[in-house]
Amino acid sequence: MEDVRMQPGQAPIHPVPATPLQSSREVRLRSRPDAEALPTPENFSLEAVALPPPGPGEVQVQNLFMSVDPYMRGRMQDRPSYVPPFQIGQALDGGAVGRVVQSHFAGLAVGDTVLSMLGWREAFNAPGTSLHAVDAQALPPEAYLGVAGLPGLTAYVGLIDVLKIRAGETLFVSAASGAVGAVVCQVAKRKGATVIGSAGGTAKGDFLREIGVDHVIDYKQTPDVTAALGEASPEGIDAYFDNVGGAHLEAALTHAKPFARLALCGMIASYNGQENGTRNLSEAIRKRLRLEGFIVSDHFARMPAFVREMTAWVQAGQIRWKQTVDEGIARAPHAFLKLFTGENFGKMLVKLA
């Protein structure tokens, strides 16, 4: 686990030579996991594939880092969702950041750093128009999978556009030390809010205090999250950023002030099977609450404004993050499974070059 914080004036570097490749390895879905259980390593296979030179309009990209994310669990089942399911025998996909090593596309040059949805593989050819160039001089490349990528944008959109957080308000955040949650906490502090963050374990709690969280709830040491939230916010909360559902959501409903807002971003507790019922939703009437689910892909138009603001914060040392990095494509399934056991701390990544 690494603690990442840029010093003002520091320039990120990543020494990968830009050499054309002849082959790649990729992780495929071998079988669908049991819908009510955790996936296992047997659900995945690692395969080598030949990599021809890129065609007209294409570039060849060597991935530097790939992301593993909880939402990928849903795509392993064959059911309708907001992203299509993975297909058996096909490579998985997801966010990745890589270096252009050959280019037949005018808009990208060898050495450029690009963001793609072609993770779970070491290298690939793709149309240049499907890739998004990022500034590798401004931030380390893996930042574009974390604080300056989809997790960061998720935090930003949920806090600024959905919750509309205001200075002086009290915000509750679950999974507060995670890839999304830690950005939520730090941006909320920048915006002048009081932040109550919940995470499991002493190390995560210490990190939350270091990044300025005002009250930390260690849910692994607390038999009753609702009581703990009441102690942390005797006057109630104005806003809740929900990454987990379950007991945390019930606690937020109980301690919401009248007219509080709740942004529903994730319910990881329910991803591997039966979901427990939320028992106190009638609080939403009594206290006129607004609960709103959102998905980051509806908000890609906010990306440029977000990256500008986030880059400035990171370069000023005002936003830091934790990341857990496994090395090599063969470790990718294992890295993914860590998301559901809480072994990761901060953004979970696989370093591919």
Which one, 96 or 263, has the nearer CB to a second copy?
263
Q: Does 164 bind a second copy (CB under 8 A)?
A: no
Residue 206 and residue 4: Cα distance in Å, rounded?
15
Classify burial at 61, counting beta carbons within 10 Å of its beta carbon; exposed 0-12, middle 13-18, buried 19 or more: buried
CA-wise closest residue to 143 among 344, 353, 347: 347
119 binds a second copy (CB under 8 A): no
Token output for 152: 């960061």
How far is residue 185's CA from residue 213's CA, in Å, rounded to a whole number? 7
The only residue of 19, 82, 90, 221 in contact with a second copy, by rule CB under 8 A:
82
For 46, 70, 243, 266, 278, the CA distances from 270, given in Å and listed in that order, are 28, 11, 11, 9, 12
Choose between 174 and 311: whose C-beta lies nearer to a second copy: 174
Q: Give the tokens for residue 17.
A: 């030579």
Q: Which is nearer to a second copy, 56 or 234 (CB)?
A: 234
**Residue number, 265 or 339, with CB nearest to a second copy:** 265
Interface pick for a second copy out of 34, 298, 327, 343 (rule CB under 8 A): 298
Pick from 7, 137, 282, 341: which binds a second copy (CB under 8 A)? 282
Residue 59, both tokens: 């570039």
One residue of 128, 152, 266, 333 binding a second copy per CB under 8 A? 266
Among residues 31 and 280, whose Cβ is nearest to a second copy? 280
Q: Which amino acid is at 298?
A: D
Residue 280 lies near a second copy (rule: CB under 8 A): yes
Determine the Cα–Cα distance for residues 268 and 21; give it in Å rounded to an integer. Answer: 38
Rg (CA), the chain: 21
Query: Binding segment for a second copy among 18-26, 291-299, 335-343, 345-353 (CB under 8 A)?
Result: 291-299
Q: Output the six-digit token pair for 323.
A: 């990341």
The C-alpha atoms of residue 270 and residue 195 are separated, in whole angstroms, by 25
Kindly tell me which of 210 and 298 has the beta carbon lying closer to a second copy: 298
By rule CB under 8 A, what string of x and - marks binding of each residue 215-254 to a second copy? ------------------------------x---x-----
Binding site for a second copy (CB under 8 A): 81-82, 245, 249, 258, 264-267, 270, 275-295, 298
